[in-house]
Structure 1
Amino acid sequence: MLSFEEAAEYLDTVVDELPEVLLRELNGGVNIVPQVMRSNKNSALYTLGQYNKGGKLGRYIIIYYGSFKASFPGASDEMLKNKLREVLLHELTHHNESLAGIKDLEYMDEAQVAHYESTGEFLPISNFAGKEKGEQ
């Protein structure tokens, strides 16, 4: 499994390769921290990344390395890199939707967690496309 330092270096590389327009107004940047973060809604779920859309610290993304370690024990470096990239792009989607005043992905995330809580089945986020707030 990638070390914390290797994961941070990889994320820096991914961010550097992205078009600058995707990072506009992300004044707090992308940060990786060693902590494990549990989902606010269900302690059985880990939060891998989080977009923060304002306040005193501005707009920024946090990636929780500890949550990756807990969620993907024994994962190959390549698999972990793919997941890190996937989560970063997911959080950047939240950022760009926030700038546009859209909450589609936020609603999809909520529906995904609600589905898991009610059924114990974890489905890909794409299964919840087109859902309104509160729908599963």
Structure 2
Amino acid sequence: MGNLNEKYTIDDVHDMLEEIADTIPDVLFEDLQGGIVLIESAKMHPKSINNNLYINGEYVRNNMYNLIRIYYGSIIKTKGHLPRQQFKDKLEEVLIHEFRHHIEFKCNDFSLIKEDKEYIKKYLERYGK
């Protein structure tokens, strides 16, 4: 990702994520053993049409840990054009979205998963799929 034209470096985004995470109550980090991980690459959604649907973040659960991944490359491709405060606000939205997955899973509530599926359904309908 070492393009000199990028508005926000991975270090910039890391620092913003730390600032945002510091505002989240500690209790919400319970059972998030892997914490928040910033991945350098972009991640395309498997149902993407025309390579235009990126995964900006995801909540990962497995037998060893739970964690939140934020994809730097995806965030840059989808939101990197925004002014700094708007970019940070969008980054916060992504992080809060993933925290919501974490909290809802702990509560056995799958409302956000249903919302995400509905979003993908509408996305596919826009492309006649």
TM-score bucket of the superposed structures, by smaller chain: 0.7 to 0.9
Establish whether residue 48 from structure 1 lines up as the match of residue 29 from structure 2: no
Q: Return the letter of the residue paired with 2:68.
A: I
Q: Give structure 1 stretches of 5+ with no counterpart.
A: 121-136
Q: Which of residues 81, 84, 95 is equivalent to 1:88? A: 95
If the length of structure 2 is used for normalisation, what is the TM-score? 0.86
Moved beyond 3 Å, runs of 4+: none
Q: Return the letter of the residue paired with 2:54.
A: Y
Over residues 34-76 of structure 1, what are the superposed CA-to-partner deviations in whole Å (9 max), with x where a residue is unaligned?
A: 10001122242000000012233x1000000100111124221
Aligned to 2:115: 108
Local SS of the residue matching 1:17: coil
If the length of structure 1 is used for normalisation, what is the TM-score? 0.82
Q: Give structure 2 stretches of 5+ with no counterpart.
A: 1-6
The share of aligned pairs that are identical, in percent, is 28
How large is the Cα RMSD of the aligned pairs?
A: 1.5
Q: Return the letter of the residue paired with 2:61.
A: K
8 Å contact kept, 1:2–1:80: no
How far the C-alpha of 1:29 sits from its partner, in A, is: 0.1
- Alignment length, in residue pairs? 120
